[in-house]
């Protein structure tokens, strides 16, 4: 059955947020990281595939898709929409339209990477099964290219990706890249293609997102 875990450091207060997702990082990784970063009182409801089949039949989850965030009895669906919602809630967005554009590009790029990643991680068709190595090679190539592009865009005038302030861009780069690197044992790609990006990830993992990596990051996640 699903487990409901309260990760708040504070009190016995009723959690304000509930995050519904499977027992893995996947499409909930950025959302979890935001909630940890903001020290928000929330319940991390981890659902089995069997539970999800039953829950969909209750009619509570209109989108029939996860992750879902519940707040004040309202349900929020769609991964990027939730990330944006929490980003505005906790002041993690850009200071100008150009920075906002950069953040949106990063969030959208998750789908580009994840689409290739899932082909060799959970091959469904016979064609996928026959080309697992090809998909993995294609992913690593795209991953390396993406990091090299971001290395050039890294703002050199401040501590963070966009300069002098912490944002969704830093959360995306740190948690998504760490997760892919762990799954594929390819941390070397980040260090080779983006040494400054690698340094940024190191700093954030040990500071702003330390509580997430200590308590919320699922090291043995399959996705």
Answer whether residue 223 shows pLDDT above 90: no
Mean pLDDT score of the chain, rounded to an integer? 90
153-204: pLDDT as tens digits: 998 788 999 999 999 999 999 999 999 999 998 999 999 999 999 999 999 9
Instruction: Tell whether domain 97-213 is in CATH 1.20.1050.10.
Output: yes
What phi and psi values does residue 209 have, to the nearest 5 degrees? -110, 25
Q: How much of the chain, in percent, has pLDDT values that exceed 70?
A: 93
- State how far the alpha carbon of 29 is from the alpha carbons of 10, 52, 175, 179, 213, in Å: 22, 19, 7, 9, 11
The answer to whether the CB of 27 falls within 8 A of the CB of 199 is: no
pLDDT value at residue 82: 98
The rounded distance, in Å, linking the Cα atoms of 50 and 161 is 40
The answer to whether the CB of 37 falls within 8 A of the CB of 179 is: no
pLDDT value at residue 7: 37
User: Which of 207, 206, 198, 177 shows the shortest CA–CA distance to 25?
Assistant: 177
Q: How many CB atoms lie within 10 A of CB 175?
A: 26
Q: What is the DSSP letter of 163?
A: B
Instruction: Tell whether domain 3-90 is in CATH 3.40.50.2300.
Output: no
The answer to whether the CB of 198 falls within 8 A of the CB of 190 is: yes
pLDDT value at residue 15: 67
Domain layout of the chain by residue ranges: 3-90, 97-213
pLDDT value at residue 59: 87
Would you place residue 13 in the very low, low, confident or very high pLDDT band (cuts 50, 70, 90)? low
What is the H or E stretch that residue 22 is in?
Answer: strand 17-22
Bridge partners, residue 3, by sequence: 46
45-96: pLDDT as tens digits: 999 989 999 998 898 888 899 999 999 989 999 999 999 999 999 999 999 9
Q: What is the mean pLDDT of residues 16-34?
A: 96
- State how far the alpha carbon of 151 is from the alpha carbons of 142, 189, 190, 210, in Å: 14, 12, 10, 23
Would you place residue 4 in the very low, low, confident or very high pLDDT band (cuts 50, 70, 90)? very low
Q: What is the DSSP letter of 14?
A: P
Answer whether residue 128 shows pLDDT above 80: no
pLDDT value at residue 91: 97
Residue in the block written with tokens 């769609």: 78
Answer whether residue 9 shows pLDDT above 70: no
């Amino acid at each position: 059955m699903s487990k409901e875990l309260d990760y708040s450091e504070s009190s016995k207060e009723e959690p304000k947020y509930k995050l519904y997702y499977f027992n893995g990082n996947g499409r909930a990784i950025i959302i979890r990281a935001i909630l940890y970063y903001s020290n928000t009182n929330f319940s991390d409801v981890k659902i089995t595939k069997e539970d999800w089949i039953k829950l969909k039949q209750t009619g509570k989850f209109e989108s029939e898709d996860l992750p879902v965030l519940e707040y004040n009895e309202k349900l929020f669906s769609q991964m990027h929409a939730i990330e944006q919602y929490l980003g505005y809630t906790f002041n993690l967005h850009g200071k100008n339209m150009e920075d906002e554009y950069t953040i949106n590009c990063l969030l959208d790029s998750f789908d580009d990477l994840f689409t290739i990643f899932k082909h060799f991680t959970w091959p469904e068709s016979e064609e996928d099964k026959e080309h697992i190595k090809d998909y993995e090679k294609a992913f690593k190539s795209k991953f390396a290219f993406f990091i090299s592009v971001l290395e050039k865009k890294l703002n050199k005038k401040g501590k963070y990706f966009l300069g002098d302030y912490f944002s969704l861009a830093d959360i995306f780069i740190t948690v998504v890249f760490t997760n892919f690197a762990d799954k594929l044992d390819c941390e070397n790609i980040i260090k080779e293609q983006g040494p400054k990006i690698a340094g940024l990830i190191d700093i954030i993992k040990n500071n702003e997102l330390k509580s997430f990596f200590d308590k919320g990051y699922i090291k043995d996640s399959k996705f």
